[in-house]
Amino acid sequence: MKQKKSSLYIFSITLVATLGGLLFGYDTAVISGAEKSVQYYLIDGLGLSSFVHGMTISSALIGCIIGGLISGYFSSAFGRKKSLIIASILFLLSALGSAYPEFLFFQSGEPTMGLLLAFNFYRIIGGIGVGLASAIVPMYIGEIAPAGIRGRLVSFNQFAIIFGMLVVYFVNYFIAKGQSQEWINEIGWRYMFASEAIPALLFGVLLFFVPETPRYLSLKKKDDSALAILTKINGSAAAKSILSEIKQSVNVSSEKLSTFAYGKKVIIIGIMLSVFQQFVGINVALYYAPRIFESMGAAKDASMLQTIVMGLVNVIFTVVAIMTVDRWGRKPLLIVGSIGMAIGMFGVAGLAFANIIGISTLLFIIVYTASFMMSWGPICWVLISEIFPNRIRGQAVAIAVAAQWAANYLVSSTYPMMMEFSGGMTYGIYGVMSVLSALFVWKYVPETKGKSLEQMDTLWRADSKKKSKVS
């Protein structure tokens, strides 16, 4: 009965935290239904180029980079929980501002450069929220979860991200269903952005009912509070032992604290995991999904529906990752996923070169996204949340997440221009990156299955000492 109560407590905390993941997915995918209307209203209306279109659709990613960079400071200065509350406020402001960027300063229906900048400003605010949530939610869950189920619980965050995307695909579909393109261009896209305010409010309210993480409390010398939470999660006997390990890992008195205290290798691995997760091109499929399907000849409603089908596939294969990550390990899933993504992207590239557009293209896109969702989607976040030692986790996660969003921005903003040059070449590049990601994981990424967060300290300290002896 006690064990059941403990499991329910952990699950409840995880569920609240993953609402941050749901908003991450919602905010990044809401643009997929609105981007053509934004192009019509703000880009074509001002006679601007496809480059400005790409920059505007991807502008939230600038905020994501900023949010990722400041997440280390926020999580260390204010704590994991308060940082997530700040993120929820940013999500709410972005939802309302993006829906009605004319608020106070501009005339509705009259596009100007000032209005374009205001729209981008609100999207960037939401991006900062996404950047904070993307770094801190996995960190929060990783620091709360017992080692044996940590991979599964952190993977729930990716499920929430994909579920958030799926929800917004449905929302966008039902807003657009049966409506003329003129109505969508005038009003519909505003409803799409405004709908995010509901989960943002729910997330902010529920966060007041969850605890701070025991690792953060221990870092702040609040051992009694840390022990109380650990006892609720692990039982009294195990809690004391875990707290002792945590204190040992955060109280290395003689060592100067720096992000590179454990050598550069762990930071570089974290950065490269993040960069590869984006260079394989996943967000192109997510941001531009309806447009991709329309280019295959689908009607407006049908393209939205195909996007929903893709979203369902994503959810199913994220569940595969959740069920297998603590059983099979992180490395095998990443390598298998990379191979599947390469097959999918090379297939799409080959069809694009042959100028064949149809159901075969859709099937290769589904193979690609399914492979990503069972591997690099959730597992990258699992590794980023657990691979870094306790003392440098906040700063190291911030660097890795900022690198991820910078890579995301580069890929998403260059996609329209690259597609104008050659669709086959564009998808071929993403296929090559998928192959390189498999080789990187095989050669450099350690397996972390079943290891406690405190064992990461020992792993990288030993690696750093080995390197210094060799040199």
Tokens of residue 129, six digits:
């929220």
Domains of the chain (ranges plus CATH)? 2-210+261-464 (1.20.1250.20)
The pTM of this model reads 0.77
pLDDT of residue 56: 81
pLDDT of residue 57: 77
Whole-angstrom distance, CA of residue 241 vs CA of residue 324: 28
Beta-carbon contacts of residue 393 (< 8 Å; ≥ 6 apart): 139, 143, 215, 453
pLDDT of residue 142: 84
Q: Nearest 5°: CA angle at 261, between 257 and 262?
A: 145
Beta-carbon contacts of residue 446 (< 8 Å; ≥ 6 apart): 387, 459
State how far the alpha carbon of 370 is from the alpha carbons of 157, 318, 320, 336, 350, in Å: 17, 8, 10, 11, 19
**SS3 label, residue 195:** coil
pLDDT of residue 340: 95
Q: Could you read off the pLDDT tens digit of each residue along the chain, which spans 471 residues?
A: 555 557 788 889 999 999 998 998 888 778 877 777 888 878 777 777 777 877 787 788 789 889 988 988 898 889 999 999 999 999 999 999 998 888 878 777 777 888 889 999 999 999 999 999 988 998 898 888 877 777 788 888 878 888 888 888 788 888 888 788 888 888 888 999 999 999 999 999 999 999 998 888 888 888 888 888 888 887 777 778 778 877 766 555 334 445 555 567 888 898 999 999 999 988 776 555 555 566 555 555 555 566 667 777 878 888 888 887 777 888 889 999 999 999 999 998 898 888 776 677 778 888 898 899 889 988 888 888 788 877 777 788 888 888 888 888 788 778 777 877 887 888 899 999 999 999 999 988 887 777 766 677 766 665 555 555 544
Beta-carbon contacts of residue 241 (< 8 Å; ≥ 6 apart): none
**SS3 label, residue 108:** coil
Are the CB atoms for 217 and 140 separated by under 8 Å? no
pLDDT of residue 123: 93
